[in-house]
Chains A and B, each alone.
Chain A
Amino acid sequence: MKTKSKLNSNTLLLLITIALFFVLYAGGCIAYGAKGFTHFQTFLNVMITNAGLISVACGLTVVMLTAGIDISVGALVAMDCMLLAVGMQNGIGAIPMIILVLVIGLVFGAVQGYLVGYLQIQPFIVTMAGMFFARGMTAVICTDQVAITADTNQLFYDIANAKIILPFGGYTNNKGVYMAPFIRVGVVIALLVLLIIFLMLRYTKFGRSLYAVGGSEQSAAMMGLNVKMTKLKAHILCSFLASIGGICYCLNSMQGSVQQATGFEMDAISSSVIGGTLLTGGVGNVIGTFFGVLINGTISSIVKTNGKLASSWPNILTAALLFVFIVIQSIFAAIREKQKA
């Protein structure tokens, strides 16, 4: 029996994304080679800056696979940062605070997941309320900017500043000093999350049921899967990963503030969509999401390296990319619909 085509539109979308990343990065190298864009460290910096985003975007991919969405993640990250900063400022240890943040993520996700799964409220409304709730709670915890310094918590400070030197890819600068490439703890956490979620989606019952629910909720139910529970679990996982992302984010920003991570949900959603996750659910994987994050990171990096472009450009470009990919998805969906008829 012949199949219609081995290379279906979804794989095509992923390939476009990966190609887009390389084109973008090559473009950056050509335009800003003189400013050091070609160094391996530039790429590593993109990873370091976006470690939190990788984790958050993985969580969003999980929820979006079930045809849901979660726009509360940005606010949750802000709340996590504030909690960490304020908690440690008040003398609570780094480890207890991190555990607390993770538990809050679980609870937050459970509430949202219950409302979405069991009460069948639109995920957008639920998570929008979640977004405002978390953002507001951030202000309830503290309305000021709270910085985390070595005085606040030595352990946290050390983790944040730890450099993990890579044995390859260094370069000698113009003063003749060898610059060893390095990553930070956040990157390790993010890559671990990426790996675990990748394996989970591919090799566990839960992972496959996410795809089934997103592919067709009714069919999934008919085949005996617990749709409500799957959605609940997806939201718990998403908020949990957002909390891990929040910790990574905090390791970079080293502060808590109400205005932190605004628009972060947008970056995560667009990373996921650019990476080939369908808004209608059932299609996508975290490898694509990873490239989506890299594309977003590269855009920011290029805008920053340029130095003259307004700081709002990354936001606009991310939204524009999201727009383009949504339109492509909708066109593909229309073509598929037509083929069926």
Chain B
Amino acid sequence: MDKDVILTARGITMTFPGVKALQNVDLTLRKGEIHALMGENGAGKSTLIKCLTGINDFEAGEIRMDGIDGPVKNHSTRDAQNVGISTVYQEVNLCPNLSVAENLFIGREPLTALKTIDRASYNKRSQIIMDDLGIEVDVTQNLENYSLAIQQMVAIARAVDMDCKVLILDEPTSSLDDEEVEKLFKLMRDLKAKGVSILFVTHFLEQVYAVCDRITVLRNGTFVGEYPIAELPRVKLVAAMMGKDLDALEAIEKENADFDKAEVVIDAQGISHTGTVKPFDLKIHKGEVVGVGGLLGSGRSELARSIYGADRASTGTLKVKGEEVKIAQPIDAMNRGMGMLPDDRKAEGIIGDLSIRENIILAMQAKRGALKPIPMKEQEAIADKFIDLLSIKCPSREAKINQLSGGNQQKVILARWLATDADFLILDEPTRGIDVGTKSEIQKLIIDLAKQGKSIMFISSEISEMLRTCNRMVIMRDGEKVNELSGDLTQEGVMNAIAGGEK
């Protein structure tokens, strides 16, 4: 092992039932560097981190650390901490009801002669630790009295004080504002100066270029490459993450059809959601497919949710077919002819223990009200129709939906909205985590639906599929609309817009 290298992971491979989550992934961390781990959803970032911290049991490959003979294999977060790997997550894993000092020392409190905890001693030590790191807090105050950024830093302080050599920061900045992020960066640079190696996971490009020295990019569970920051400009980084090499752009056949510009279906003005979406205007016409692009965390899903009423919009007005409407919850949107396929299929899409039939008719039934049940014959006919139409592969329409594969589950949710005859559909990552064949089927379906006069808002991490299906693309960054592209959509244009600025 090189003298300045603290940790190497070589050929890490890990499978979950049916999915290769990591395939032959490498990672090299040097002493005193900040190293970004980048990749879109499902790229394998969290899986890799979990392998390092002992939560996941990887199948092949080995991890070595400086100062330890032989490969390191952690079986719990405790093991990882013992060899000097600590992790701080986006959701702070501390106890808000305890004081800052207690959070630093719980589980390893200094004891007095009477075997009671020595409060005075650890309060003093905590204050010293926090002062050292330049974090201004009163350590006797409860953690919940401080902002998320401070809580985040306390978590980091705990990790550092436990003698960590490798600090993994998993999306620590997602819920911080600019000022707080700056404070966190200062802390990170200070730690770097003290020789701590930091593995920084984020989806904000700006931040990567602000603090990191090197970048490792993963895609679909595979290792794409490791680059010094200076050698990887933004656009190239986006290309590496999204799997399209700029030098070899494949010709993308445009399949979308024309639409009638006269009829505006959705007219949103000044829609915002505190903290995630800044005031936003959007018009969608009949028969139009509008793509919303941007990286994860850019506010693309949140925008969709605010329009649909899944999260209540903080400001703004919404007109549906020219009529101003108030949308407080999803059923209001549904009654205006909307439907939404949420990005988290498991948490918000499927009703796991119900049958395929019940899942398909659910939204339709909700619209009709409890007192007007759809007769069983009709339910069966509807279910059969969509199973046939979308070629959903299932043992029978009465099978539980959680027995189906991801792609087929997604088709069932699509069928749920098609059954309601919605004329405006929001599809948030409809093709994520499903096989290629089904992907193209869904893309084709989107185009067909648009031809039938339905309007669609399409959100995806894959630029190519948006290029194929969208008439127009809205690009978001940091909760803001930064660009709107129509006419000839090109991969390069879109990527430049997403990456933001020329660097």
A–B proximity contact (CB within 8 A): yes
Q: Decide if A283 is an interface residue (CB 8 Å cutoff).
A: yes
Contact at B94–A219, with CB atoms within 8 Å? yes
Contacts of B92 in A (CB 8 A): 219
- Residue A136 is within 8 A (CB to CB) of chain B in the complex: no
How many pairs of A and B residues are in contact by the CB < 8 Å rule?
A: 79
Does B275 count as interface, using CB distance less than 8 angstroms? Answer: yes
CB of B97 within 8 A of CB of A208, answer no
* B136 adjacent to A216 (CB under 8 Å): no
Q: Does A214 contact B (CB under 8 A)?
A: yes
B-contact bits for A213-244, CB 8 A (1 contact / 0 none) = 01110111011110000000000000000000
Bound Cα distance A44, B93 (Å): 46
Interface 9-residue window, one of A3-11, A173-181, A186-194? A3-11
- Given A204-B116, A225-B106, A282 and B97 touching (CB < 8 A)? yes
Question: Is B150 engaged at the interface, CB distance under 8 Å to the other chain?
Answer: yes
A316 within 8 A of partner (CB): no
Given A4-B145, A216-B93, A219-B93, residue A208 in contact with residue B275 (CB < 8 A): no
A residues 302-341 near B (Cβ < 8 Å) are 336, 341
A4 and chain B: residue at smallest CB distance: B145
- B81 within 8 A of partner (CB): yes
A283 contact set on B, CB distance < 8 A: 97
Residues of B within 8 A of A212 (CB): 95, 98, 102, 106
- Chain A residue with the shortest CB-CB distance to B136: A1
| Chain B residue nearest in CB terms to A218 | B93
Q: B78: which A residues are within 8 A, CB to CB? A: 224
Q: List A contacts of B73 (CB < 8 A).
A: none
| The residue from A216, A336, A341 contacting B94, defined by CB atoms under 8 A apart | A216
Q: Does A3 contact B94, Cβ atoms closer than 8 Å?
A: no
Residues of B in contact (CB 8 Å), total: 33
When distances are taken between beta carbons in the complex, the residues of chain B under 8 Å from A282 are: 95-97
A21 to chain B, nearest CB (A): 24
Closest beta carbon of chain A to B26's beta carbon, Å: 27
Q: Is the CB of B116 within 8 A of A203?
A: yes
With an 8 A cutoff between CB atoms, is A209 at the interface?
yes
Report chain A residues within 8 Å CB of B66: none
A222 nearest CB neighbor, chain B only: B93
CB 8 Å contact bits of A263-288 with B (1 = contact, 0 = none): 00000000000000000001100000
- Given A1-B136, A205-B117, A341-B275, answer yes or no on A211-B98 (Cβ-Cβ < 8 Å): yes
Q: Is residue B137 contacting chain A, with contact meaning CB distance below 8 A?
A: yes
CA A203 – CA B97 in complex, angstroms?
16
Bound form: Cα–Cα A322–B84 in Å: 48
A-facing mask of B105-147, CB < 8 A → 1, else 0?
Answer: 0111101000111010000000000000001111001101110
A209 to B119, CA, bound (A): 14
Please, how many angstroms separate the alpha-carbon atoms of A8 and B111 in the complex?
29
Q: How far is the CB of A199 from chain B (nearest CB, A)?
A: 8
Expressed in whole angstroms, the Cα–Cα distance for A341 and B311 within the complex equals 12
The interface residues of chain B lying within 8 Å CB-to-CB of A4 are 145-146
In the bound assembly, the distance between CA atoms of A199 and B115 in angstroms comes to 12
Let me know if A209 and B145 touch, CB within 8 A. Answer: no
Query: What residue of chain B has the Cβ atom nearest to residue A214's Cβ?
Result: B97
Q: B402-445: which have CB < 8 Å to A?
A: none
Q: Are A224 and B107 in contact (CB under 8 A)?
A: yes
Which of B95, B116, B137, B144 neighbours the largest number of chain A CB atoms within 10 Å of its CB?
B95
CB A233 to nearest CB in B, in angstroms, measures: 15
Known: A1-B138, A205-B109, A205-B117. A223 touches B93 (CB 8 A): yes
Q: Is B396 engaged at the interface, CB distance under 8 Å to the other chain?
A: no
Q: Are A215 and B138 in contact (CB under 8 A)?
A: no
B464 in the interface (beta carbon within 8 A): no
Closest to A206 in B: B117
Chain B residue numbers with a CB within 8 Å of A220 are 95, 106
Complex-state Cα separation, A220 to B106, whole angstroms: 9
Q: B158 to chain A: which residues have CB within 8 Å?
A: 223
User: How many angstroms from the CA of A203 to the CA of B109 in the assembled complex?
Assistant: 11
A223: chain B residues at CB < 8 Å are: 93-95, 106-107, 158
Distance in angstroms from A91 CB to nearest chain B CB is 41
CA distance A216 to B94 in the complex (A): 7
Contacts A5-B145, A341-B274 given; indicate if A215 touches B137 (C-beta within 8 A). no
Given known pairs A1-B136, A3-B141, A208-B102, the reply for A215 and B95 (CB within 8 Å) is yes
Write out, one digit per residue, whether chain B residues 85-102 have a CB within 8 A of any chain A CB (1) or not (0): 000000011111110001
- Show 6 A/B contacts (Cβ-Cβ < 8 Å), sorted by A: A1-B137, A1-B138, A204-B117, A211-B95, A219-B94, A223-B158
Known contacts A8-B145, A205-B117, A219-B92; 4 further A-B pairs (Cβ under 8 A): A1-B135, A1-B137, A212-B95, A214-B97
Closest 8 CB pairs of A and B: A215-B95, A1-B136, A215-B97, A282-B97, A203-B116, A3-B145, A222-B93, A219-B93
* B residues in contact (CB < 8 Å) with A: 77-78, 81, 92-98, 102, 106-109, 111, 115-117, 119, 135-138, 141-142, 144-146, 150, 158, 274-275
